Structure 1
Amino acid sequence: MMVAFAVVDDDIEAREQISAFISRFAGERQLDATITAFADAAELLHHYKPEYDVIFLDIEMQQVDGIKAAKVIRETDPATIIVFVTNMAQLAIKGYEVEALDFVVKPVDYYSFAMVMRKALQRMERRRSSTIKLITRDAVHVVPIDRIDYVEVQDHYITYCTAEGNYTVKGTLGQAEQALQSGNFMRCNRWYLVNIDNITGLEGNTITVGNHRIEVSRSKKQEILRAIAISSGVA
């Protein structure tokens, strides 16, 4: 499993200790971990992108404190896991306001740290099975899989279509199938994957999903009909 960590602390010793603990834990669990360290929250927030799976965030920092930084992060990134690092446990109570996973108290011991890491991995595994991270030209989007109506391939680009908008990334339909395997998607022709659970109609050789009508190939029609029946509890 690939996991991207950010460690944000204006205390270099604490920053290095957390980074070392991450490396140790990753080695024990055979994780492919990347660690990016920041000397203050302002550095993290500058052009922030939702590319970290877990952020270890010190609460008491001089320029921007961890609670304020977490609130800014949550405006654009509801998915990243935030763990506060603090000298005073009572300060971490405010973490519930920004949906922090947990906190560790300085000086951090490895046993406590490993417990929080195991908790973070469990949440990551649940979240990864229910969301997909799409890196478009302009941003990184974390999209709930059940909100995707269909996927279209055209000229080596994949467009994930949802009621909230469309997201286009480079790739193949096979790669999209693999990324969406926790959902209920099927190919309806050479160019489209459709979310069986979001189909609202099938007439002739045309599926209605969301506000769109998509053609179903003859070879796929019976398979699609069976999948719809199973999804509806008919079969």
Structure 2
Amino acid sequence: MLRIGICDDECYARDALRLELEKLLEETEEIVYEFSGGETAVSWLKKHPGEIDLLFLDVEMKGVNGIRTAEQIREFDTRIQIVFVTGFRDFVFEGYRVQAVDYLVKPVDADRLSSVLSRVRRQLEQVRQKQFVFQNGDGVYRLYQDEIQYFYSEKRKVVAVTREKELSFYAKLDEVEARVGKTFVRIHQRYLVNADAVSYIGASSVRIGSEELPISRALKQDAVAALAKAMIGGDLS
């Protein structure tokens, strides 16, 4: 599933790009949001992390231009794919500073647009193998597994803990463990930890950030061995 945003301060330019995209999008892909300026795009993306995979960003916008908009987005989101749309080739090299995927020159050529979409799809397919997707009452979330420090169970819910937030969803911890793979280690009936996030292994607990999480007796031997291997650079797989 490819979720797309378009940012251009000219309505006719947004319409033209949307029409070309709609001819090329696959069944599960959609244009999620259209922005009329860089300030609006930055504000929305901050409040909706991970909801857009690909942003088509006009360079020559009034107010905050596309290059500056991309710089501001990169301050809080290094994952979103950005493709610049421009009427002038002179801006092309500026895109490398903000890790742009590519650029399109107006009017957008259909074959070139198709090529860019294919490349983004391939890149995102590789990335999604490292994502954890879940749904709760607020919507659908996609977290990169390396951002998740640990999961814990709470009654009928599981809580995903990152450095910035905690997000809960209905599931069993056993189900989560099966999905995330061996990078995560079960240390307790209620705790599943990211081995890369563990900074210290004690006799009966592990430390992640400033938190101490308990290791159960039943799981101690296997958990400590797996975590110690990860901490010294071993391969958990």
What is the CA distance between 1:147 and its match in structure 2?
5.0
How far, CA to CA, are the matches of 2:56 and 2:218 in structure 1? 51
Match of 1:167 among 146, 165, 168: 165
Q: Contact (CA 8 Å) 1:145, 1:183: kept in 2 or not? A: no
The share of aligned pairs that are identical, in percent, is: 27
Report the counterpart of residue 122 of structure 1 in structure 2: 122
Alignment of 1:12-161 (within 5 A): 12-27=11-26, 30-49=27-46, 50=49, 51-130=51-130, 145-146=145-146, 148-154=148-154, 156=157, 158-161=159-162
What is the CA distance between 1:66 and its match in structure 2?
1.1
User: Once the two structures are superposed, what CA deviation does each residue of 1:77-110 show, in whole Å capped at 9, x if it has no partner?
Assistant: 2221110001112212111122211101111111
Report the counterpart of residue 220 of structure 1 in structure 2: 219
TM-score by length of 2: 0.75
**What is the number of residues matched between the two proteins?**
226
Q: Give the counterpart letter for 1:209 in structure 2.
A: R
Q: Which runs of 5+ in 1 are unaligned?
A: none
How far, CA to CA, are the matches of 1:25 and 1:183 in structure 2? 37
Q: Contact (CA 8 Å) 1:153, 1:159: kept in 2 or not? A: no
Q: Contact (CA 8 Å) 1:79, 1:142: kept in 2 or not? A: no
Greater shift in the superposed pair: 174-183 or 16-25: 174-183
TM-score by length of 1: 0.76
Q: Which runs of 5+ in 2 are unaligned?
A: none
Q: Contact (CA 8 Å) 1:201, 1:209: kept in 2 or not? A: yes
How far, CA to CA, are the matches of 2:10 and 2:196 in structure 1? 50
Q: Contact (CA 8 Å) 1:186, 1:193: kept in 2 or not? A: yes
